[in-house]
Structure 1
């Protein structure tokens, strides 16, 4: 099949990420003798600098890692709701949803500590060695990608009238960053230089310095600035100026934690995902719903598309009813053969326009009032409030500046219904010559989430918008509990051996696109005696929106399927015949996948990256 570029092959190391500078920075670490985990940390901090509209240091990152010869592990960099983030506090403000922007939406930042724990426990490099790439790009500049300026323009009025500290950084002299022009962030460079200096003052040991940096973030000058920013009222998507709930005590209490991944065996593969505090098990449920006997000949056929679309609806309905950190999620039942045999029988010849969560173990599903309202609006065909993208990450398009005044909703960058990517998040994968492998999906704390903290050079995040203000739900806003994130890296094994790390930005679309990619690899014949990573990434992609979105204002569009035009008219006609509400997007508009792999028999390493948006890049040798 046609591919835009080859699947890279080599033996030293491979990196794939959503920005070429992050990929090359990670490769520089590998060339300097570092391992995959050192390289991932360096790339993660570079992504904060070069994709500030998609992630930042005060965001979050789930990481799946597989040390050579060791067991796959999840490292959770998703911070919880602060102690003061109670449902009563938000409803007393007249809110029925957590705002999509502003301090009220800020969870405890989790990304920084997760990167530090990864470096401490699995890396070999010193803090200064992995941060020097991000410091260099922040201090001396990097050529801005087009999306940064486009994002800033969508929130120009908000920056100029309310979030003036953001305007100082991103609208100097009233001009948004122009594509290809050098963009600097002196405050961020100074923050990391001071962090390194204080860490090195703690002692000569590598781990001593990393632990000191963690303390600076949680209890030192950075923590003080973060807590002050949270306490400062700022305009948010409710149209009011609200202060947040996060305090210094919340910051001091958080530590990134390890946990075993959720696993599912499918057709000789074992796929590992983060737990149901993420949406990760949705990918596993989609695999469990598939019938036996699929082959390469099925890829891209109308029957295959219909099967995955309808299976995805069932899996996402279960996510809505059962996933969340505030509940004991019945994962064993959700992934069991009897349950999925029963659920598979619901997939008929025609497209479903219903939200149909299952009853694992005989339990009765319960949905939030907002989800039920979204379902009712979708069933009636009414355009509910802000019926913009039903899926995707915060939108950066539209004319209401994220203030809830009638245009697109605020939140994470979104995939529009026409398939055009307005923005999303980041992803990176690394494998090294020793066989260490890591996948990470950093996000949150983007420039349009909260006002820039001038002393630090970055804003707070907004992940609490993913929780509900109805009590008693798996994903209800609960102090000390993690909001259910859409961030969802993946790791796949053959037998007991890690073989492939992959993932994509895209909010609610992530585990749709990742499922399509995985099946494209698992069912497709090898090329050059290796996995056809690039072919699976380049294959025409799609997503469906028949579920309440995770981002404010939590809309859904029942029956809606956004399909790249490359799927072809015969398949599109057949989907329409089966009742799908088909929207045809641009030919290269769905997904931003990255992947690396290692052949356990030969030791050959592979990598590929998404050509869509002309920004993701794989490197290696």
Structure 2
């Protein structure tokens, strides 16, 4: 299936692809003015906080992967749980699950420090200069897209500061409070660029911004102790590629486990063998995610990514849809799946952003910012943004690798990706989508790496996913055998899936996934593509 809604871009100067055209434009403007991919990613990332406030915000989280011309590294901007956030503390307040909205779902907001770490250690620009685009959009306004309007309509009527900020004027939104905040944060003095960035970080986590972030269990000490960290990625060989993901404090390695489970021959593209095998592999990999991944206990990643373990698990896949939750490994601890819970709150309604950047110097970035949604918590007066709700990904059940503990990271679904081909090609890609991120990203990567589609063809191809595992988001539902497929999936494949026992829900043709991607070939040729679904994602470059 080789259909594209728009061309795959190519050039030699620079490429930016993201989930919103204004963020892509900001990133490209930085490249045009001499900045590198890391500067451009910061500008695009801060812009996304303004123009997709229902998808991410300054109170949210950020994992990213970067390629500096020689190696892949991870910057983890996933803030930990507060020191006062214990299982007993939630249970004393009547909760069996961490709520999906409100201040008691907040972890330390890590996005700001992660962007600053990228800029300080790998970029070349001043913080004030990369923030200028976000400040301009916040002060001068930007289009009120249907998704934002829908999120605003769901705001709690008691959140008066939120209502005051998100009142559309002539079809445009503005956030002058956030513009003022970023101007004030970035107006700092110091002997070096690095010192000025660190001074801004201190204002955010140990100064006047931090004083206003205290809510729920979140205390000044939690904020003061926080630093984004640079880590080594996790990787797996797949054919002629090495694929890189974040560590198992997030769900990143689940994509690698899915790759390891695949047979050499998947059959025709989007045929029944291809789709059924991918779905059944996802069930097994996500069962391992829920049994083993997290920051609260050691994760046996060497075992889970070993060829021997993959062969053992692959043997469980047959021609029928499994109706079981089947984690592997020695004595797996699977969370208790419950129908309903004490203290249930309104289900989470939020999503995520993604951006990819490549420059003429050989650098690439893949970043997936999320959290701090305008609909997740009341906006903070004087700051203009809401706290995140990432703590909902912890289990209030003792003994799990993703159990709530003070000072540990929630097992986030945020999952940027990179892959390096044996010929030297570097590919950066990703998508919003919660639990679906590493399903849609896998399908994109297979379409490109295994079936030969170009980046735009791979993004435009029909998408599908399964919800055959507990959701990472409140209220943590599970839907056994469930498959969601775009209506463009071949009709005979949909019929065959149902014959094999899958509960297939056919959704509108362009409803699943918001992927973007950039790549750099060994000769310096850059490529980029972005998702047409929702009519917001765009790639730009030359």
Mapping of residues 68-467 of structure 1, within 5 Å: 68=69, 70-155=70-155, 158=156, 160=157, 162-171=158-167, 177=168, 181-197=171-187, 199=188, 202-227=189-214, 230=215, 244-294=216-266, 298-359=268-329, 363-369=330-336, 371=337, 373=338, 384-385=339-340, 404=344, 409-413=346-350, 424-467=351-394
8 A Cα contact 1:280 1:511, kept in partner: yes
Q: Deviations over 1:334-390 (max 9, x none)?
A: 01111111101111111011100002xxx2011223x2x3xxxxxxxxxx449xxxx
Measure how far apart 1:271 and its partner are: 0.3
Counterpart in the other structure of 1:390: none
CA–CA distance in structure 2, aligned partners of residues 347 and 538 of structure 1: 28
Aligned-partner Cα distance in 2 for 1:344–1:149 = 45
How is 1:488-527 mapped onto 2 (pairs within 5 angstroms)? 488-495=415-422, 497=424, 499-525=426-452
Once the two structures are TM-superposed, the CA of residue 495 in structure 1 deviates from its matched residue by 2.7
Alignment TM-score, normalising by the size of structure 2: 0.98
- Distance in 1 (CA, whole Å) between partners of 2:141 and 2:515 is 26
Q: Which position in structure 2 is the counterpart of 1:3?
A: 4
Change (3 A) 1:311 1:221: same
CA distance in 2, matches of 1:203, 1:340: 53
Cα distance in 1 for residues equivalent to 2:236 and 2:349: 29
Distance of 2:191 and 2:234 partners within structure 1? 38
1:412–1:444 Cα contact (<8 Å) kept: no
Deviations 1:41-68 (A, max 9, x none): 0000000000001100010000100102
What is the DSSP-based 3-state SS (H/G/I as helix, E as strand, rest coil) of the residue aligned with 1:98?
A: coil
Offset of 1:292 from its aligned partner?
A: 1.7
The question of whether the paired residues in 1 share the 8 Å contact of 2:327 and 2:334 is answered with no
Q: Which runs of 4+ in 1 moved over 6 A?
A: none
Shift of 1:496: 8.0
Distance in 2 (CA, whole Å) between partners of 1:366 and 1:348 is 25
SS of the equivalent of 2:535 reads coil
For the residues of structure 2 that align with 1:141 and 1:589, how far apart are their CA atoms?
Answer: 27
Structure-1 separation of matches of 2:257 and 2:349: 25
Q: Does the alignment pair 1:470 with 2:471? A: no
Instruction: Tell me, yes or no, if the aligned pair for 1:67 and 1:437 is still in contact at 8 Å.
Output: yes
**Kept after mapping to 1: 8 A contact 2:424/2:521:** no
Within 2, Cα distance between the matches of 1:350 and 1:577? Answer: 8
Aligned partners of 1:460, 1:538: CA distance in 2, in Å? 34
Aligned-partner SS, 1:566:
coil
| Residues matched between the structures, number | 540
Q: Deviations over 1:393-445 (max 9, x none)?
A: xxxxxxxxxx957xxx42242xxxxxxxxxx2100000000110000000000
CA contact (8 A) 1:560 1:581 kept: yes
Deviation at 1:181, TM superposition (A): 1.7
In 2, are the aligned partners of 1:324 and 1:474 still within 8 Å (CA)? yes
CA distance in structure 2 between the aligned counterparts of 1:552 and 1:525, rounded to whole angstroms:
38
Indicate conservation of the 8 Å contact 1:64/1:491, yes or no: yes
With normalisation by structure 1, the TM-score equals 0.85
Q: What is the aligned partner in structure 1 of residue 24 from structure 2?
A: 23
Contact 1:66 1:498 in 2 (8 A): no
Structure 2 residue matching 1:478: 3-state secondary structure = coil
Which one is further off, 492-501 or 279-288?
Answer: 492-501
CA-based RMSD: 1.4
- Please state how far the C-alpha of 1:516 moved relative to its aligned partner: 0.3
Partner Cα separation in structure 1 for residue 381 and residue 323 of structure 2: 47
Q: Look up the SS of the partner of 1:426 in the other structure.
A: coil
Q: Structure 2: how far apart are the matches of 1:148 and 1:257?
A: 32
| Number of the residue aligned with 1:378 | none
Bigger Cα displacement from structure 2, 324-333 vs 202-211: 202-211
Unaligned runs of 5+ in 2: none
On the 8 A contact 2:95/2:344 being kept in 1, the answer is no
- Tell whether the 8 Å contact from 2:425 to 2:521 is kept in structure 1 after alignment: no
Deviations 1:19-53 (A, max 9, x none): 00000000000000000000000000000000001
Is contact 1:317-1:356 (8 Å) kept?
A: yes
Instruction: Report the Cα offset of residue 261 of structure 1.
Output: 0.3
Task: Please give the alpha-carbon distance, in whole angstroms, between the structure 2 residues aligned to 1:472 and 1:343.
Answer: 24
Alpha-carbon distance between aligned partners in 1 of 2:435 and 2:71, rounded to the nearest angstrom? 28
Corresponding residue of 2:48:
47
| 1:266-285 alpha-carbon deviations (Å, 9 max, x no partner) | 10100000011110001000
Task: Give the aligned partner of residue 538 of structure 2.
Answer: 617
Gaps of 5+ in 1: 172-176, 231-243, 374-383, 387-402, 414-423, 527-531
CA deviations 1:289-310 (Å, max 9, x no partner) are: 001244xx62111111000000
Shift of 1:568: 2.1
**1-structure distance, mates of 2:134, 2:245:** 28
Contact 1:491 1:498 in 2 (8 A): no
The 3 A distance-change label for structure 1 pair 404 and 97 is closer
CA distance in 2, matches of 1:609, 1:257: 29
Q: Is the 8 A contact 1:349 1:578 kept in 2?
A: yes
Counterpart of 1:604 in structure 2 is: 525
Give the structure 2 partner of residue 14 of structure 1: 15
Instruction: Give the aligned partner of residue 466 of structure 2.
Output: 544
Which of 485, 488, 506 is the equivalent residue of 1:563? 485
Query: Over residues 473-528 of structure 1, what are the superposed CA-to-partner deviations in whole Å (9 max), with x where a residue is unaligned?
Result: 100011110000000000000138451000000000000000000000002336xx
